[in-house]
Structure 1
Amino acid sequence: MIQIKILIENTVFQPDVCAEHGLAIYLKTRDHTLLFDAGQTEGFLRNSSVFGTPLEEIEKIIISHGHYDHCGGLLPLLEKNTRAEVYCKEEALIPKFSDTYQEKRQINLPLIHAYKKHPSRFCFVKENHELFPGVWIISHIIQKTKFENDDAKLYCLSENQFIKDPFDDEIFLLIEDDNQLHLITGCSHRGIINMIHTATMLFPGKSIKSVTGGFHLRNKDEQRIQLVAKYLNESQIEQINVCHCTGIEEYLVIKKIFRGKTSYLSTGMLVKL
């Protein structure tokens, strides 16, 4: 059995804890404890105290990509938990920018600061990597579709030039349990369809039971949302758990079309897969 606890997310419906535009997921497999992403701030550390979540027991930290809302609380976490290693792609440290607010601002500084202070605790993923038996970090996402990676306002530096961010730093997690796969994603910038397709190509004999995380559909056009929802519905996936950048209204479209179990995971929710 796999347990997922949302330490912080964009929404909250219970007292004494905070929400923010960010994501931090506490994962327990049968034998191991992981953190997937580290929020925008140290808010998830405060929330974990309320939840009684022992962050000191985390063995590995996975950063899905370099954006501030997934690594902003990493440095204070590394001060609290002095043993966990950080897994990400080295491309996450390439300067990344957004011009959402009419000017380009760098959005991966928290990860750079954490790396500069604790370089020995970083493990850069170059290939798909089995973190523990049955727990995989997937670093190469096959591009089945082109319409999913269309963030015109997100950039990175390449040879001192701003280019559209290809999100070469993005990774996702696959956990095998009872001969089925569970996919965990942060933002799905490279596309949730592409991630699911990659997983099926890598493990052709295994079915994906659940997909959990941000689908990056908020404020996207209706056609794209419909295409994603229909793809999910036509798959063999049994359970969809969305949060963060998926969007509430966009989630409702998926919920209406997807024939399986769906849920929106807000801060503090616990899911057993």
Structure 2
Amino acid sequence: MALEPVDRVRLTSLAGDFATCTERSRGPVRRRGNMFETRRRTAPLGAHGLSVLVEVTRGRETTTALFDCGLRDDVLRDNVRYLGAPLDKTQAIFLSHGHPDHYGGLSAALSLVGRRDGRKIPIVLHEAAFRERCWTWKDLRGGRYRLPRAVVRSPRASVAIQSGPAVFLSGMAMFLTDIPRRTRYELRRPGGQVLYRDGRRWRNDTTPDDGALVMHVRGRGLVILTGCGHAGLINTVREAVAQTGVSSVLSLVGGFHLCHAPARRIAATIRDLKAFAPRWVIPSHCSGLEFEAALRNAFPRGFALDSVGTEYTWDAPS
């Protein structure tokens, strides 16, 4: 599938589990929440969830999109204002899957984005994102949740149901859903089970709506952005390589959902990830402390822990 190479990819963390004012900038990582570097007395807010502003540049054309919206309207709104993030230029909203820590701030997002030409903002998502769901942990069952269709049907937005891979943003980004589950050790979900309602029955939910956004920086490789990585990190990377035909991986950013993962799975993931030789690995959200530590040991020069307010920029060679 044709994914156009671009000259620059810039990602800005608008919502995430971790926020710090002390981590320093280095290389492509600019810590805009560092109070010592910015000399501001306040910092962005951390809260469970994920939201990333995506800016992709080819020549003189820059296209902006929002990938997920975090858990809460107030957190997203405050962080956007703190960072001065250009959501008014947003051309699309991608929802990685139908879990509330990724769609919870959608109402705020829709109030912040605005098309100057009066056209509606497309919300790109998989049909399964609308499932009614609940989670279980051992003998506990959590509350039910579902993405309200009324929010998605806002007068400001249009709905674009997507199944499988497709290119967006003038061919500069590929959205992956229905990611094949071929890696055996990634078949089981770490940290509990999610169910979805099918009529009167609750069934095991494999989260087919789990999606990733992929960009290709010319001459350097793929930037792969995940929401939670329920499809499996290795499955996701393999699908990105297969669909784009680009074998080099520049960076992996986002939630990798390996919290509570056993040591064997973490070791296997690190082993298989090394085969792709990513230049940067930037875990966020639900990645888990043990996996984050393993990533830092495996990729010491290219590891950065995501923090709300951080900006990541990768440029093509001049």
SS at match of 1:3: strand
Task: Output the amino acid matched with 2:304.
Answer: S
Mapped contact 2:92–2:122 kept (Cα < 8 A): yes
Going from structure 1 to structure 2, the CA distance change for 1:86 and 1:262 (only over 3 Å counts) comes to same
Paired with 1:204 and 1:32, the residues of 2 have a C-alpha distance of: 23
Paired with 2:155 and 2:14, the residues of 1 have a C-alpha distance of: 23
The equivalent position to 1:24 in structure 2, one of 45, 51, 55, is 51
Mapped contact 2:165–2:243 kept (Cα < 8 A): no
Task: Output the amino acid matched with 2:206.
Answer: P
Higher relative contact order (CA 8 A, sep 6+): 2
1:203-222 equivalence runs, <5 A: 203-222=244-263
The equivalent position to 1:5 in structure 2, one of 5, 12, 15, is 12
1:194-233 equivalence runs, <5 A: 194-233=235-274
Report the RMSD for the aligned CA atoms in angstroms.
1.9
Q: 5+ unaligned residues in a row in structure 1: which ranges? A: none
Q: TM-score, normalised by structure 2?
A: 0.80
SS at match of 1:219: coil
Q: Which residue does 2:88 correspond to in 1?
A: 56
Task: Output the amino acid matched with 2:146.
Answer: N
Q: Which residue does 2:105 correspond to in 1?
A: 73
Q: Which residue does 2:293 correspond to in 1?
A: 252
Deviation, structure 1 residue 237: 1.8
The equivalent position to 2:68 in structure 1, one of 32, 37, 61, is 37
Paired with 1:104 and 1:47, the residues of 2 have a C-alpha distance of: 29
Paired with 1:142 and 1:217, the residues of 2 have a C-alpha distance of: 18
- Which structure has the larger Rg over C-alpha atoms? 2
Paired with 1:131 and 1:186, the residues of 2 have a C-alpha distance of: 17
Mapped contact 1:230–1:258 kept (Cα < 8 A): no
Structure 1 segments of 4+ aligned residues over 3 angstroms from their partners: 116-120
Deviation, structure 1 residue 181: 1.6
Q: Which residue does 1:92 correspond to in 2?
A: 129
Deviation, structure 1 residue 248: 2.8
Task: Output the amino acid matched with 1:128.
Answer: P
Mapped contact 1:98–1:107 kept (Cα < 8 A): no
Task: Output the amino acid matched with 1:2.
Answer: V
Mapped contact 1:237–1:260 kept (Cα < 8 A): no
Paired with 1:53 and 1:119, the residues of 2 have a C-alpha distance of: 19
Residues 81-90 or 144-153, more deviating: 144-153
Mapped contact 2:76–2:108 kept (Cα < 8 A): no
Deviation, structure 1 residue 113: 4.1
Mapped contact 1:99–1:105 kept (Cα < 8 A): no
Paired with 2:248 and 2:313, the residues of 1 have a C-alpha distance of: 18
Mapped contact 2:166–2:175 kept (Cα < 8 A): yes
Q: 5+ unaligned residues in a row in structure 2: which ranges? A: 1-7, 22-41, 115-119
SS at match of 2:238: helix
Q: Which residue does 1:142 correspond to in 2?
A: 180
SS at match of 2:215: strand
